[in-house]
A = this chain, B = another copy of it.
């Protein structure tokens, strides 16, 4: 893959002074996706499922074709894909529908401090309501989830293991395949937060044997307003819907109603039609480049950058060994929000904060971190500009007395 060529696909990068290093928050969008959205609105922008006229048929076909693309993308079956508003919504769906209806005070839910709030808070809620116990995997000295440590907390009481595939703060890849297998031995289901994995690596839900897996469109070149929940068919079949209304029902009577089959019973109302179609376009785009190529490229940029950062004084890196394209760091003595404005002044977009993952920030014992995250459109030149800016920032802040 050639990032210099790929950059041309991203209208926002027409501003050549822009150095975008915040993909972990949201990726930029290629024109291939924007055009597909426009095409929907300009050519067949009508509702799906409901009409029996031709335009509506076309819209429905395109919407369901997007579902097929998503299912192929992660090697799932067509009817195992539920479209949601985003990864957060998808993870909440599992917690509300599966969690609230399957757990009791006898049970345990395993999570970790490495989770995004959207993976830990829904299970806190399930724990509060069902009285199931929330159990944290002890992280290793680097802040990783290891198979060994999962074994320490896994037991016959474990009913749910809810963890990330790739951490949005540390960029570590969790050994989920082994963990899933261990969890299944004790009869637990595993919920994978793949928000940071789907954009960057090939996912095979059959090979992983995972039970639920969630991700968002906007982090993988797709539009906002769309996410995906994968669930094993036999699990989804036995879960109640959590939203009720148009299009998810079969027969409706005054005091009761029956539901459509999966996935439709979980998709009430007019779905995010353009968003699903746009996500399909994003998948086409990513596959045309190759997920593994993208992952390798990011990792290379990250390795290069880390090496250079280590030559600068007062730089603390929290996740040197990450296998992906994420670097969390700070400039010693400088509040990350002060630092990030310096980078912004150089038109370098990156994040400072807790990254919606306060538990790992607390674990690191810092107030916040700076984070850069690379993607297919980043180049060595981006890294060099960033490194130069870090050097200048460090010198500047020290010079004014930080």
Nearest CB of B to A240, in Å: 9
Chain B residues, CB < 8 A from A85: 84-85, 89, 225, 269, 272
Interface stretch of the complex, out of A174-182, A326-334, A347-355: A347-355
Q: For chain A residues 71-101, which have a beta carbon within 8 Å of chain B?
A: 84-89, 91-92, 95-96
A42 and B32 CA atoms in complex are apart in Å by 12
Distance, CA A256 to CA B359, complexed state (A): 11
Within 8 A of B (CB), among A121-148: 121-122, 124-125, 127-128, 134, 136
Per-residue 0/1 for A1-44: is the Cβ within 8 Å of any B Cβ (1 yes, 0 no)? 00000000001100000101010011011000110011001111
- Kindly state whether residue A319 has any CB partner on chain B within 8 Å: no
Q: Determine the distance from Cα of A28 to Cα of B119 in the docked complex, in whole angstroms.
A: 37
Q: With A243-B122, A245-B116 as known contacts, state yes or no: A28 contacts B45, CB within 8 Å.
A: yes
CB atoms of B25 and A268 under 8 A apart: no
**A residues 267-291 touching B (CB-CB < 8 Å):** 268-275
* Contact, CB under 8 Å: B256 / A124: yes
A171 close to B (CB within 8 Å): no
Instruction: Tell me how far the C-beta of A361 lies from the nearest C-beta in chain B, rounded to whole angstroms.
Output: 9
**B46 A255 Cβ-Cβ under 8 A:** no
A47 / chain B contacts, CB cutoff of 8 Å: 22, 25-26, 218
Cα distance, A227 to B268, chains bound together (Å) = 13
B344 near A26 with CB under 8 A, answer no
Q: Which of A53-61, A294-302, A310-318, A383-391 is the interface stretch?
A: A53-61
**A187 beta carbon closer than 8 Å to chain B:** no
Q: Which residues of chain A from 351 to 380 have a CB within 8 Å of any chain B CB?
A: 351-353, 355-356, 358-359
From A198-206, A229-237, A246-254, A394-402, the one touching the partner chain is A246-254
CB-defined contacts of A244 to chain B, threshold 8 Å: 92, 95, 117-118, 121-122, 124-125
Count the A residues whose beta carbon is within 8 Å of the partner chain — how many? 94
How far, in Å, is A183 (CB) from chain B's closest CB?
Answer: 21
Question: Taking the complex as formed, is A113 at the interface, i.e. its CB lies under 8 A from any CB of chain B?
Answer: yes
Cβ–Cβ < 8 Å partners of A271 in chain B: 224
- Report chain B residues within 8 Å CB of A136: 254
Once the chains bind, are B349 and A22 in contact (CB under 8 Å)? no
Q: Contact at A245–B50, with CB atoms within 8 Å?
A: no
Q: A118-B246, A358-B251 are in contact. Are A353 and B272 (CB under 8 A)?
A: no
- Cβ of B89 and Cβ of A243 under 8 Å apart? yes
A102 close to B (CB within 8 Å): no
| Contact, CB under 8 Å: A46 / B34 | no
Complex interface: chain B residues within 8 A of A351 (CB): 50-53
Chain B residue numbers with a CB within 8 Å of A87 are 269
Which residue in chain B gives the minimum CB-CB distance to A257? B121
> Is the CB–CB distance between B54 and A344 below 8 Å?
yes
A343 at the interface (CB under 8 A from B): yes
A189 at the B interface (CB under 8 A): no
What would be 18 A-B contacts, judged by CB atoms less than 8 Å apart?
Answer: A11-B41, A22-B46, A25-B46, A50-B356, A51-B349, A55-B349, A85-B225, A88-B268, A92-B243, A116-B245, A117-B246, A121-B245, A121-B249, A122-B245, A127-B255, A224-B274, A224-B275, A225-B272
Additional A-B contacts beyond A18-B55, A216-B270 (5; CB < 8 A)? A50-B351, A88-B268, A92-B244, A118-B268, A227-B269
